[in-house]
Structure 1
Amino acid sequence: MQNVDYIIVGDGYAALFFAHQLTKNKKSFVIFSDGKKSASQISAGIVNPVVLKKFTTFWLAQEQLDFLKISLNEIEKYTGENYLIDASIHRIFHDENEQKLWLKKSQTEELYNFLNKDFRHLEAVKNDFNTGIVKQSARLNVQGFFSDLMKFHENNSQLIKEKFNYHQLNISESTYQDIKFKNVIFCEGMAVKNNPYFSDIQVIPNKGHHIRVRLSKPIPQNITIKKKHFLFPLNEDLYFYGGTYDREQMHAHIDDSAVEQLRIGLSEFYSNDFDIEEVHFGFRPTVKDRRPILGRHAEHKNLYVFNGLGARGILNGCYFSKNLYDFIENNIDLPHEISLDRF
């Protein structure tokens, strides 16, 4: 019988950032990964403190940015890599009114540290009203992050490559197959709807598509361009463009209308030819109040949920992983804003 402090079910941002908390605190654990690419693993990896439609920020934005940098520096110590890419977001303005609104908000206390008041013109794309630069924005090397961390956990015998079977969980004995555990953390994204213990949590699927394109004329390597969606370079001369938001089309295959939406969106500011090489989609777990859901099962006190990260999976997953760890290990109450009990 293997003895561990934690079983983590899932392999997205919530799972891996919580695993980091366990690693730094020398707790034993195993991660169950079914091998399917989660919404986290195909995400854009955008690190952004600003809602770019309204030029507003969100709860604990600066604290989340600061904690992400600390956490990635800690992770670098055992993977040898830092996955934060210094590539600021350049938001293309639609008109002069957006310019004026950006300038006005850049002078407020709330947004002074996030909105650069100096505009920039880009030569590679159409931006008649220039672009606004989001200070402290960046990207995560998503592929490297997941590949390296999964390899690290596998090398340390912490990764179990199989689907977690709820029926083999013996809660009263705190066992799963031949594993004796103290706690189980379910970080399953939308798969939580199949979880008999947390299927009723209020997460809403939001389907997102992105395309990988080959551009006939390159754009600068060290920036992320945003108009309707995000455009930035990947490896092998491919560029990421996306992603869409759809709460209606929930079938598990590509929506042609979403691909067409992305093609038109890119054509609006990139006037050269491009080829769509790949199409990807996933289902983000979102919550009505745009806050994640963390907490303990009402009846089974060694079962926990960490879900609802939405489109800010990196920042939410990183920052709130410590809240969950402190809740379990140090008996520190979860903030009401993220607690399962708020519903």
Structure 2
Amino acid sequence: MKHTDYIIVGDGYAALFFAHQLLKHNKSFVLFSEGKKSASQVSAGIINPVVLKKFTTFWKAQEQINFLKDTLSEIESYTGKNYLIDSPIHRIFHDGNEQNLWVKKSKTEELSSFLDENFDHLEVVKNNFNTGKVNQSARLKVSAFFSDLLDFLEKKELLVKEKFNYEKLDAPGGSYKDIGFKNIIFCEGMGVKENPFFSDIAVIPNKGHHIKVKLSEAIPKDITIKKKHFLFPTDNGLHFYGGTYDREQLHHQIDESAVAQLVNGLSEIYPHDFEVKEVNFGFRPTVKDRRPIIGRHESFKNLYVFNGLGARGILNGCYFSRSLYQFIEEGTPLHDEVSSDRFK
């Protein structure tokens, strides 16, 4: 029987950032990937410290941004690539009231390092009231991040390309098929609902669509534009526009109403011709209090869950992967705000 410190089940941000923690600390592991594209893998990759509806920030935003930059530098040391795109968000203002609110918020201690005081006017898109730049915002090269890391794990013989079979798990005996393990981390997103050990965790599916479009007039390459949704260039000459939020239409097909919503939203800011070339969707695992769910199984102390990253999957997945590692290996208590115990 092969023995390993950890089994990771999942292949989204939670799984790969936790795998990085294990690589960093020389822990042995294998990662089970079913090979389907997760919500993480079709995400926009937006790194944003500001809630752009109300111009507020969130818990530990600066700490999360700093930790992400350090972590991506560490990952670059073994993949040889930098996945951070310096493409700050430019938020199009709806009216003068939003401008005034932005200025007011930019002078507060909480937001002064994120909201740029100077407004910009963009060419090509409609922005009659100008735009505000979100400092320290960026994007992740999503497809390269996942393909490179999964390739790296495969070459190291740490990747198992198959669906995890819960029936083959002997939790008390610490074995799965022919693998003996110390701990299993389940990072399955909405797949957790099929997991008999953690199916009751309080995650709510939120379906998100985005479109890839061909624009007739180019927009600036080094920025991410936001009004209702995000607009930015992709590697293949197309532009990403999205994503929607839907808690009602949860079937596994494209919603034409969501596509229409995106086409209308883009038409509002982009007064030139464009063509929809691709439609994608995924199911974000969200939580009512907008905090991840991290914890240990009540009965089987070698089973853990890392889920509920929501729309901030990159920042949450990166930052709290360390919290989970320190909880397991060092006995450091989890923050009450993210511990699964808060729902008891």
Q: What is the identity, as a one-letter code, of the residue corresponding to 2:332?
A: I
Q: Secondary structure at the match of 1:117?
A: strand
Cα separation, 1, equivalents of 2:172 and 2:122:
61
2:12 is the counterpart of 1:12: yes
- Determine the structure 2 residue equivalent to 1:109: 109
- Determine the structure 1 residue equivalent to 2:24: 24
Deviation at 1:69, TM superposition (A): 0.2
Cα separation, 1, equivalents of 2:204 and 2:269:
32
- Determine the structure 1 residue equivalent to 2:148: 148
2:147 is the counterpart of 1:164: no
Map Cα deviations across residues 48-75 of structure 1 (whole Å, 9 max, x no partner). 0000000000000000000000000000
- Determine the structure 2 residue equivalent to 1:292: 292
Cα separation, 1, equivalents of 2:236 and 2:38:
23
Deviation at 1:172, TM superposition (A): 1.7
Deviation at 1:242, TM superposition (A): 0.1
Taking structure 1 as the reference length, what is the TM-score of the superposition?
1.00
Deviation at 1:82, TM superposition (A): 1.1
Q: What is the identity, as a one-letter code, of the residue corresponding to 2:59?
A: W
2:207 is the counterpart of 1:214: no
Cα separation, 1, equivalents of 2:68 and 2:4:
27
- Determine the structure 1 residue equivalent to 2:72: 72
List aligned pairs for 1:243-322, cutoff 5 A.
Answer: 243-322=243-322
Deviation at 1:305, TM superposition (A): 0.1
Cα separation, 2, equivalents of 1:111 and 1:81:
31
Q: What is the identity, as a one-letter code, of the residue corresponding to 1:173?
A: G
Q: Secondary structure at the match of 1:198?
A: coil
Deviation at 1:198, TM superposition (A): 0.2
Cα separation, 2, equivalents of 1:306 and 1:269:
38
2:190 is the counterpart of 1:181: no
- Determine the structure 2 residue equivalent to 1:85: 85
Cα separation, 2, equivalents of 1:308 and 1:285:
5
Taking structure 2 as the reference length, what is the TM-score of the superposition?
0.99
Q: What is the identity, as a one-letter code, of the residue corresponding to 2:225?
A: I
Q: What is the identity, as a one-letter code, of the residue corresponding to 1:48?
A: N
Cα separation, 1, equivalents of 2:234 and 2:266:
16
Map Cα deviations across residues 121-149 of structure 1 (whole Å, 9 max, x no partner). 00120000000000000000001100000
- Determine the structure 1 residue equivalent to 2:124: 124
- Determine the structure 2 residue equivalent to 1:54: 54
Identity of matched residues, %:
71
Map Cα deviations across residues 312-338 of structure 1 (whole Å, 9 max, x no partner). 000000000000000000001000000
Q: What is the identity, as a one-letter code, of the residue corresponding to 2:172?
A: S
Cα separation, 2, equivalents of 1:323 and 1:172:
25
Deviation at 1:235, TM superposition (A): 1.4
Q: What is the identity, as a one-letter code, of the residue corresponding to 2:42?
A: I
Q: What is the identity, as a one-letter code, of the residue corresponding to 1:122?
A: L
Cα separation, 1, equivalents of 2:172 and 2:308:
28
Q: Secondary structure at the match of 1:122?
A: coil
Q: What is the identity, as a one-letter code, of the residue corresponding to 2:81?
A: E
Number of residue pairs matched? Answer: 343
Cα separation, 1, equivalents of 2:167 and 2:236:
44
Map Cα deviations across residues 76-131 of structure 1 (whole Å, 9 max, x no partner). 00000010000000000000000000000000000000000100000120000000
Cα separation, 1, equivalents of 2:267 and 2:242:
13
Q: What is the identity, as a one-letter code, of the residue corresponding to 1:111?
A: L
- Determine the structure 1 residue equivalent to 2:41: 41
Cα separation, 2, equivalents of 1:89 and 1:118:
14
Q: What is the identity, as a one-letter code, of the residue corresponding to 1:116?
A: D
Deviation at 1:267, TM superposition (A): 0.2
Cα separation, 2, equivalents of 1:262 and 1:167:
42
Map Cα deviations across residues 19-68 of structure 1 (whole Å, 9 max, x no partner). 00000000000000001000000000000000000000000000000000
RMSD of aligned C-alpha atoms? Answer: 0.4
Cα separation, 2, equivalents of 1:29 and 1:220:
43
Q: What is the identity, as a one-letter code, of the residue corresponding to 1:163?
A: K
Cα separation, 2, equivalents of 1:110 and 1:236:
38
Q: Secondary structure at the match of 2:118?
A: coil
Deviation at 1:236, TM superposition (A): 1.8
Deviation at 1:179, TM superposition (A): 0.5
Q: Secondary structure at the match of 2:115?
A: coil
- Determine the structure 2 residue equivalent to 1:337: 337
- Determine the structure 2 residue equivalent to 1:195: 195
Q: Secondary structure at the match of 1:116?
A: strand
Cα separation, 1, equivalents of 2:290 and 2:76:
30
Deviation at 1:237, TM superposition (A): 1.1
Deviation at 1:304, TM superposition (A): 0.1
Deviation at 1:171, TM superposition (A): 1.0
Cα separation, 1, equivalents of 2:123 and 2:189:
40
